[in-house]
Structure 1
């Protein structure tokens, strides 16, 4: 009955959360500005039929920025011999690029061979072009080691060409719809890569197959990528971290994951993997970080049986683990530094005999769980805790919060929608001198309680939304030397008070 009442209260019972009752999230959609640009005044607008192809743009751009790239472009089939005059109009090139992208002409990246020596190429104009398009380029001693082309930039697959002349490139981040399966053919040639993030791209199984030669990869992130076949990863024996959150990866793909001998971090949140897939992992894999989610009902015995008791971080958010028996194996994971049970179903009596064994914990997330004041004495014994999230745990009130006073190493504390009061501030929070982030949103804390912040000189982020503070607290807030972010939504602090705060600290980000 307790289980039924708990899941009914949250609108998800049994395995509904893993099917129609809670559909898999597809992740945030990339934001792109599709507002039509004003016509370029330097030349008449072209008709639709006369718009240039991406191939034509690439040829002109390559010749215009760095002739040294023409050889690789020719080898890739992205250009034909012959360059535009050296003084080609930049605005015309921009117009051609935008028109080509708007037409969504597929960039035919056909990498068969690349017979070009880029050693003598001048990369400066190429790097400038990348940065102008919104890419982030990291250099070490004049050598490019990392490039990021996020979805918020205007980069596209054509901007991958310069990377072929950067042999020391180790880290690449791509985002947005321009980086599709065909673009992966170029990425697959960057065999020196050690970290690759293509989260949020439209890459499919076909595109992932083109990355099979990246055997030096140590980190691969495929969050929200619609792949379900991980066979191309089987040769990536150096892989340490694999992120397939919000993907279509299911139990069948775990056979390939089990062949990664050095895998230490695996993130499966909102994938299609279940307990059956978890069973396929090899006991020889040195897992230290594991992120599970909906789809798992009894993963802890599996992990314990495989000997993964050296885990340092374990996320069990929204899993369907129930009862003292379900949570009992947790006490075997004594090396845990991070444990997250957000929106799971642990009750006080389920965790009381377990948490006390996890004395190395530094981060504990109990957000939106059914725990109450009864568990707080046990939490208060975890004196190594630096991060504690009790957001939306309304059953934790003033008496329970007082039990947290021994947690003097606390750096990040979230008490949103708990029963925190002014007494909590003076009797508990005032002793957390290492605190850098504090959320008191939707609590009963007022001006009197806020005086307890006076000695918290390390505080950087503070959320006072929907509290009872007024302009009387402005003096206290002004005196916090390291405060960088302050949220004051739905408070009695006036516009005059905000102006006073801003004048005292011009760099302070205030949300009102």
Structure 2
């Protein structure tokens, strides 16, 4: 009787960092446990989990669960948050195929070396609000064709993926994005026009990309009128581009490793709420270098705003 009372009123079930045991979700467990954490528990499968119909959050990160075990989640009615992080026995592409009909809001993906564009395409119909693909080096433009259909996305992290201008352009319908990271990708000035599609953007990272001042002089980024935090570090931005910023709500600006002069910050009259600007390790360029850079920029100049 005591156990039955405990199970029927359970709200959180946590088994983490426990030595190896076999595990089975008892039938009496199925009614009212919205959160289950098995992180670091050496479970290898998930027998009975499909019967926990009220389960909302499931964390099986750092476990030995395999790909076929994920099939048991394929028709789960209420699962919204799922973590498969650091699960080396799960083949990401196949696992995502099993999960493509769920109504997840957030998923932490399995092994980044076993998750490719093929798997990411299966996310297209899942109403995610957050997707972190940082360091998923086998994800690129093909995968963005699927990501671009997740119109519910608010947070999208693409740092150190194979995404280029083509992939970013595929995101043009993600009008609800609030946070977008494109650092360490191969994007250039050519993708500047797509930023007109992100009116709700609050935070943007373009660090360590191939953009230059032409990206800013095009004026497209100024369409992100809600932008508060902008990272342009380690890009070819110089004074010419910097003074073109017209972002009234911008409060934080990272210019580390760029070509701007410290004195240029005082000319940022289009950013009246700017509170902090970082200017570490600035690159000093000669007048000849600046002229050469300007000429190079013109070759990949995006269409100007009219």
Q: TM range, normalised to the smaller chain?
A: 0.7 to 0.9
Task: Normalising by structure 2, report the TM-score.
Answer: 0.74
Q: Does 1:489 align with 2:256?
A: yes
Match of 1:330 among 99, 103, 110: 99
Q: Does 1:249 align with 2:18?
A: yes
In structure 2, relative to structure 1, the CA distance for the partners of 1:302 and 1:322 (3 Å cut) is: closer
Match of 2:178 among 411, 415, 418: 411
Displacement of 1:489 in angstroms is 1.8
Deviation per residue, 1:94-116 (Å, 9 max, x gap): xxxxxxxxxxxxxxxxxxxxxxx
Displacement of 1:332 in angstroms is 3.1
Q: Does 1:375 align with 2:128?
A: no
Match of 1:400 among 167, 170, 180: 167
Deviation per residue, 1:16-56 (Å, 9 max, x gap): xxxxxxxxxxxxxxxxxxxxxxxxxxxxxxxxxxxxxxxxx
Deviation per residue, 1:270-291 (Å, 9 max, x gap): x234334x44658236221223
Aligned to 1:433: 199
Aligned to 1:363: 130
Kept in 1: contact 2:228–2:249 (CA 8 A): yes
Distance 1:398 1:420 in 2: 5
Distance 2:109 2:268 in 1: 37
Aligned to 1:55: none
Displacement of 1:466 in angstroms is 0.9
In structure 2, relative to structure 1, the CA distance for the partners of 1:262 and 1:350 (3 Å cut) is: same
Q: Does 1:294 align with 2:62?
A: yes
Deviation per residue, 1:293-338 (Å, 9 max, x gap): 23244266346359534211223223232264443211231x1122
List aligned pairs for 1:160-175, cutoff 5 A: none
Distance 1:425 1:243 in 2: 46
Match of 2:234 among 461, 466, 472: 466
- Whichever of the two has the greater Rg, that structure is 1
Distance 1:343 1:439 in 2: 24
Task: Normalising by structure 1, report the TM-score.
Answer: 0.46
Q: How many residues align?
A: 270
Structure 1: which 4+ aligned runs deviate by more than 4 Å?
234-239, 241-244, 250-261, 499-507
List aligned pairs for 1:217-228, cutoff 5 A: none
Distance 1:491 1:416 in 2: 14
Distance 2:110 2:70 in 1: 21
User: SS where residue 170 of structure 2 aligns?
Assistant: helix
Displacement of 1:385 in angstroms is 2.0
Kept in 2: contact 1:408–1:431 (CA 8 A): yes
In structure 2, relative to structure 1, the CA distance for the partners of 1:462 and 1:327 (3 Å cut) is: same
Kept in 1: contact 2:62–2:86 (CA 8 A): yes
Unaligned runs of 5+ in 2: 280-306
Decide which moves more: 342-351 or 401-410: 342-351
Kept in 2: contact 1:250–1:274 (CA 8 A): no
Unaligned runs of 5+ in 1: 1-230
User: SS where residue 221 of structure 2 aligns?
Assistant: helix
Aligned to 2:11: 240
Aligned to 1:422: 189
Distance 1:299 1:286 in 2: 23
The one of the two structures with greater contact order (alpha-carbon pairs below 8 A, sep at least 6) is 2
Kept in 2: contact 1:342–1:366 (CA 8 A): no
Kindly report the root-mean-square deviation, in angstroms, between the aligned alpha carbons of the 2 structures.
3.4
